[in-house]
Structure 1
Amino acid sequence: MARPSATATRPRLNRLRVLTAAVALADRIGIEALSMRRLAQELDVVPMALYKHVANKDQLLDGMVELLVTEIDPPATGVDWRTAIRLRVLSARRVLLRHPWGRAVLESRTSRTPAVLGYIDSVIGTFRAGGFSDELTHHVMHALGSRMWGFTQELFEEPAGPDTSGADGAGPTADGPSPQVQQAMLQALAQHFPNIAATVLTATHDDGTVVARGCDDQAEFEFALDLMLDGFERLRAEGWPRHPGR
């Protein structure tokens, strides 16, 4: 009896398998190194086989975002709108922590796939079901912005700094500039921009909770999120917008 060929025993290639492999590969090697050719090698197929399921790299990235969206927890039931939104946003954040490349891909997408639109529609629906007017919901969604996906554009980004390579013991470490260089940078910052320096030096940050470079750690993210949610609730309770003469 003839043994089945490798082709016969290999799992059938489909769009979900392609996207799942792409997500796992990006988790391992980073989004910059991900290519159709590298993905084909991972799946042990010729590159042309991928194009039956994703027409190009943009469609591949759109599909990868779709998979990330499916990892976000569905809306919680039996809770108030504030709790539901908070849980959803923090779930989205956990997804990006699992897939650090997700932020860059989300920011690069110009098209809105059904999965992305469905997530946005669901978040809007939570506000509307919670008693928000359509006009207030519109403004709230603008204020929420990328925080809906679990990340923010941070104010205090880490400076790139000058080239500090050298043999004087002050060269860069694997995690960035050396302590000596960092100290010199802070001193220069304090001299020219004392208010920024004073603010930056007040807090420490847990590297393990960072979505991207900068000060976007979990405590700061939740601090700002809670401030926003409290403000949203105040406006909702006041019946905003309040139109004069009505």
Structure 2
Amino acid sequence: MPPSGSSRRAGGTAGAPGRTALSREVVLSAALDLVDSEGLDALTMRRLGQRLHRDPMALYRYAANRDALLDGVVELVLAQLEVPAVTDLAGVGGSEVEGPGGWRGQLRATAHAFRRLALSHPHVVPLLVTRPLATPLGLRPLGTLRPLEQLLELLVAAGFDPVDALHVYRIFFGFLHGHVLNELQELVAAPEEDDDVLRLGLHRLPLREFPRVRSLASALADFDGAHELDKGLDVLLDGLDLHLHPRA
């Protein structure tokens, strides 16, 4: 998958500077670039046509409408999600499951890959959460379903019942969606301030009504997305491990 914007430089039409030989990938890459730079509201056929130096009507050959563009952008981003290949997990247990070849390690690597992808395309995150829900499973672009198939294969190979593997997938991505949405909202009100209460604007909260929140100003100001993700994964993966290997 070429990096964002690279497709605009490829396939240029001879004698037509700035114009690009159109394809579905070129159109969707330009749509993703537009969303990345200007946000979701900027994505229209007219604006996309301007970006590609084409009549907007020419784009309908590659996307029937704006909804198709949105689905295509989600597919393009999810195609970049690196799900570790399934290894032979039969009989793997104990601390080994956290290693690179163990299911816990693979889920952790997938979670961090998803976070990096989301932070690279923050305007697309709402689409990653909502667009799949707007389309029946079998009608979604194939690229949006590959992480589902790959993670189901991983979990079944690890010993989960197929139905349980589906539940795990839903729990796992529900947690990831919540985490990245929360991380993207961790804004600082006054970065020039030294005091954490002032930096976060917590001085505006009535002290009697929000004593706990204000007391956690330093912890809130020191938010580390990767560390926070790992803390949540520890809880999630420990619970899944206990489900897979019940203790007496």
- Whether the TM-score (by the shorter chain) exceeds 0.5 is yes
Kindly indicate whether residue 116 of structure 2 is the aligned counterpart of residue 94 of structure 1: yes
**Whose radius of gyration is greater, 1 or 2?**
1
Distance 1:30 1:147, change over 3 A: same
Tell me if the contact between 1:36 and 1:57 (Cα under 8 Å) persists in the aligned partners: yes
Note the C-alpha offset of 1:72.
0.9
Q: 1:48 aligns with which of 57, 82, 85?
A: 57
Distance 1:74 1:181, change over 3 A: closer
Q: Which runs of 5+ in 2 are unaligned?
A: 1-13, 88-100
Amino acid at match of 1:84: Q
Find the counterpart in structure 2 of residue 142 from structure 1: 170
Q: List aligned pairs for 1:73-222, cutoff 5 A.
A: 73-78=82-87, 79-109=101-131, 110-111=134-135, 112-148=140-176, 151-152=179-180, 154=182, 179=198, 182-186=201-205, 188=206, 190-199=207-216, 201-206=218-223, 217-222=225-230
- What SS does the aligned partner of 1:202 have? helix
Note the C-alpha offset of 1:47.
0.6
Find the counterpart in structure 1 of residue 16 from structure 2: 6
Q: 1:235 aligns with which of 234, 239, 243?
A: 243
Amino acid at match of 1:193: F
Tell me if the contact between 1:127 and 1:137 (Cα under 8 Å) persists in the aligned partners: yes
Supply the distance in 1 between the matched residues of 2:42 and 2:72 (Cα, whole angstroms): 17
Distance 1:204 1:179, change over 3 A: closer
Supply the distance in 1 between the matched residues of 2:112 and 2:166 (Cα, whole angstroms): 21
Distance 1:205 1:183, change over 3 A: same
Aligned length: 211
Supply the distance in 2 between the matched residues of 1:181 and 1:89 (Cα, whole angstroms): 28
State the identity as a percent. Answer: 30
After superposition, the CA RMSD in angstroms is 3.3
Supply the distance in 1 between the matched residues of 2:113 and 2:119 (Cα, whole angstroms): 10
Note the C-alpha offset of 1:139.
3.3
Supply the distance in 1 between the matched residues of 2:124 and 2:15 (Cα, whole angstroms): 37
Note the C-alpha offset of 1:153.
5.3
Q: Which runs of 5+ in 1 are unaligned?
A: 160-171, 210-216
